[in-house]
């Protein structure tokens, strides 16, 4: 089970690196800039989580394999930039798998340190969503997840669902797949139906 | 004494969360964005301080009560957004109490790790002022404290004054109130009199 | 040898502080803003490196001398802002020495923790180049090293060259000067010849 998680995690990094590289190329950064933005998009969430947890090593320093996959993702995006339009659906799927898996991994890490449930969910959201936030800060945009996508809200829901399962001692590998499936399903529905969070602002302001 | 500090600290977080939420709503972020910006504004300073100190846990991970108060502040701001104009004076007061208290707490933390006085003052300023800096980075603005307010300068003065008191062994609780009072007084004078730092630029450039 | 490194490191911080202060004054920040941007430019890279390495203290907290030199650099830049134009060549030289030395120091720190070579190079680049990245984020610009300068690419080349030397057990002080000289030479050539990274975009897009 753990091994499967690991491989999906690596694939998630690869997908997030591509997503970061595409945003960077849209801003016409030079190759090094594209590489850095890809790297930060892929590892930003997990890195902040590991910085916040006293006594925990940064995951990609302990296991540099992530770096090679991210480098691969960035180079792949630079080479195939014209043709990636065709792969949009696959990319969204990878990105969504990344969100789902990174959220669950973040919650797991929190649980392994015996943190309060609220903290675990926050660590899940940070792991799943902060990479995209740092990407947007680097390219000088207001983070997109603060504005229109329900990205992070779905991460909270999935993380909360995972905590409920854990609380009722559903800890087997098979149960860990449920919140992952929930996050993927919700995100695909949201993107397909173009659902947004209800506005908190009055219309004709 | 410590208990009083704790409660005022929690109230300071609540006030800073409201201030962050107001800035985020001004940028018309969605509810999740408002929540995150409120959270970062309230805990950003203390979080950076705790990250910089090797061997120290992040305060809100150890004590999740802060999170609930911040959540409360953000929801409060979203519900009463129209009426918060009326509360401007109260908000400024809370914000100023937060600055004063967070500065003194930051210096105290530095002293408890036996850091050099300069480092202690820097940790005080970081604790007091970095939340606002991260808020402005997130909403894609040049941090306001770099431009017109004397916010951080007052934090340095208050932190320095506290260090002087500590150096002359005035360590009783009552003495800790003096730098807090000084910061609050200076900030209210500065805001009321619209004082700014002297310009370092020539006029007709 | 170590002592020489230390002094050049301090001089590098001084030069980077001036470079940060100049950018901040260009944005017409107030004196405190100039000070903070100078500080972040000078210590940002080493600070992120030390945050990422679990169990390592932040260098300027352990040795506050850096702070006094940075403060000196920022004040120097504010006083002599009009005349610094004349010093442009000297500043570029200091800045380049800073990049070279900070890169080698970053790689050394990585090696002392027995990290993988790739990680060591990344830590070198972070130490050498991240200060400029944080400076640009603070003043709300897309980091300049992502766009036109080959700054970070040279840091990667120099760090990689240092790793090769170490791998073949060329560990004497004299060998450490080689990557430093390489970085300085490459950067001066690049600036003088106005070389940029090859574009990854088609011309008439």
State how far the Cα of C94 lies from the Cα of B83, in Å rounded to an integer: 54
Residue A69 and residue A17 in contact, taking contact as beta carbons nearer than 8 Å: yes
Q: Is the pLDDT of residue B124 over 90?
A: yes
The per-residue pLDDT for range A70-81, each reduced to its tens digit, is 999 999 988 888
pLDDT at A67: 92
The lowest-confidence range among A56-60, A74-78, B140-144, C42-46 is B140-144
pLDDT at B2: 65
- Contact residues, chain A, for C99 at CB < 8 Å: none
pLDDT at C121: 94
Q: Is the pLDDT of residue A140 over 90?
A: no
A204 pLDDT tier (thresholds 50, 70, 90):
very low
**Chain B residue with the nearest C-alpha to that of C52:** B51
- Is B118 within 8 Å of C31 when comparing Cβ atoms? no
Q: Is the pLDDT of residue C203 over 60?
A: no
The per-residue pLDDT for range C20-57, each reduced to its tens digit, is 888 888 888 888 888 889 999 999 999 999 999 988 99
The per-residue pLDDT for range C174-198, each reduced to its tens digit, is 777 889 899 999 988 888 877 766 6
- Is B146 within 8 Å of C55 when comparing Cβ atoms? no
Q: Is the pLDDT of residue C1 over 60?
A: no
Q: Tell me what the mean pLDDT of segment B95-114 comes to.
A: 88
The per-residue pLDDT for range A158-193, each reduced to its tens digit, is 999 999 998 887 766 677 788 989 999 998 888 887
Which residue intervals of chain C are DSSP H helices? Answer: 2-26, 31-52, 59-62, 65-79, 88-112, 117-138, 151-167, 173-193
- Return the SS3 of A42: helix
B55 pLDDT tier (thresholds 50, 70, 90):
confident
| Nearest chain C Cα distance for residue A132, angstroms | 16
C202 pLDDT tier (thresholds 50, 70, 90):
low
Angle at B129 between CA B114 and CA C134, to 5 degrees: 90
State how far the Cα of C103 lies from the Cα of C120, in Å rounded to an integer: 10
The per-residue pLDDT for range A87-96, each reduced to its tens digit, is 667 667 777 8
Residue B102 and residue B152 in contact, taking contact as beta carbons nearer than 8 Å: no
pLDDT at C172: 67
**What six digits make up the tokens of A156?**
């909270």
ipTM of this predicted structure? 0.82
User: Chains contacting C with at least 3 CB pairs below 8 Å?
Assistant: A, B
- Is A52 within 8 Å of B58 when comparing Cβ atoms? yes
**Chain C residue with the nearest C-alpha to that of B116:** C64
Q: HSE of C111 in the Cβ direction (CA atoms, 13 Å)?
A: 18
**Chain A residue with the nearest C-alpha to that of B59:** A52
Phi and psi for A52 in degrees, rounded to 5?
A: -70, -25
Tell me the count of A-B CB pairs closer than 8 A.
63
Closest by Cα among B91, B90, B102, B113 to B179: B102
Give me the percent of chain A exceeding a pLDDT of 90.
33
């Amino acid at each position: 089970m753990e091994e499967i998680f690991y491989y999906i995690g690596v694939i998630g990094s690869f997908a997030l690196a591509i997503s970061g590289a595409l945003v960077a190329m849209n801003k016409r950064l030079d190759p090094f800039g594209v590489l850095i933005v890809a790297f930060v998009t892929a590892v930003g969430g997990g890195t902040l989580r590991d910085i916040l947890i006293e006594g925990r090593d940064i995951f990609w320093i302990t296991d540099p394999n992530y770096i090679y996959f991210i480098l691969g993702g960035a180079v792949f995006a630079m080479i195939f930039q014209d043709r990636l339009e065709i792969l949009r659906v696959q990319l969204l799927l990878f990105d969504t798998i990344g969100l789902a898996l990174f959220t669950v991994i973040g919650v797991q890490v929190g649980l392994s340190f015996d943190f309060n449930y609220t903290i675990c969910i926050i660590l899940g959201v940070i792991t799943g969503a902060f990479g995209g936030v740092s990407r947007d800060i680097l390219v000088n945009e207001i983070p997109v997840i603060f504005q229109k996508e329900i990205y992070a809200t779905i991460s909270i829901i999935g993380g909360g669902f995972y905590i409920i399962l854990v609380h009722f001692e559903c800890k087997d590998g098979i149960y860990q797949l449920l919140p992952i499936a929930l996050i993927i399903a919700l995100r695909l529905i949201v993107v397909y139906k173009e659902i947004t969070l209800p506005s908190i602002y009055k219309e004709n302001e």
